[in-house]
Chains A and B, each alone.
Chain A
């Protein structure tokens, strides 16, 4: 069935370190891919998206490239800040159910000064 697998957390980094959070998906149909971020006590905020193969989504220094051949959508940032500490969710939806996002389990990022 449809699913998303994210790397286990927590990921602990020092400020200005390089970040990668791995995400792979299994989808029946052609998915659009999304990264969401959740700060403590809040809902989810859309971070970036990509809707077709080889698209690169980017926002606030974060990037992810839609890799159809490896069914992956890894999140990267060149230099993390303490304010980036949050839970990051990889998700997708397909044409067969456009109102349903399939989420991974989330990856907690802790950035230390």
Chain B
């Protein structure tokens, strides 16, 4: 079975631009979470979607938004890019929205802002 897939793998943008990152969860998984990982740090939670509804939001500005589609894939959008948005963006999926369910991660999208 395919794991979590993310696209693109790498992206270079300039300040002020907009970016869309995409994620396909493991087949059958209905929960998708997004994380930002800055070099040398642990991932920071951005959003969770479950059954197409937003279930959680981290401490990120309104420039960050996301959505989940009927097939459970998801997009993360970032507007007005800043240099500080340079990071690895990780998508994770899980089978159920429960405390004991592990999240399975994709390989991420490396976003560089010039």
Q: Which residues of A contact B (CB under 8 A)?
A: 4, 30-32, 34, 36, 41-46, 49, 51, 89, 91, 93-95, 97-106
Contact = CB atoms under 8 A, between A and B. Distances in A.
A94 B42 CA distance: 18
Contact of A105 (B42, B100, B103): B42
A99 B33 contact: yes
Interface residues of B, number: 31
A44 B105 CA distance: 6
Interface in B25-84: 31, 33, 35, 40-45, 48-50, 55-56, 58
Name the residue among A44, A51, A104 with the largest chain B CB count within 10 angstroms. A44
B43 A101 contact: yes
B102 A98 contact: no
A99 B99 contact: no
A51 B42 contact: no
10 contacts: A44-B90, A97-B48, A97-B55, A99-B45, A99-B48, A99-B50, A99-B56, A99-B97, A105-B42, A106-B41
A46 B99 contact: no
Contact of A95 (B35, B44, B99, B103): B99
A43 B45 contact: no
A95 B55 CA distance: 12
Given A43-B107, A106-B41, A49 B90 contact: no
A41 B92 CA distance: 16
B97 A98 contact: yes
Contacts of A100: 33, 45, 48, 56, 58
Contacts of A36: 105
Given A99-B33, A100-B33, A100-B45, A32 B97 contact: no
A101 B56 CA distance: 11
Nearest to B97: A98
Contacts of A89: 42-43
Contacts of B35: 101
A45 to B, nearest CB: 7
A43 B97 contact: no
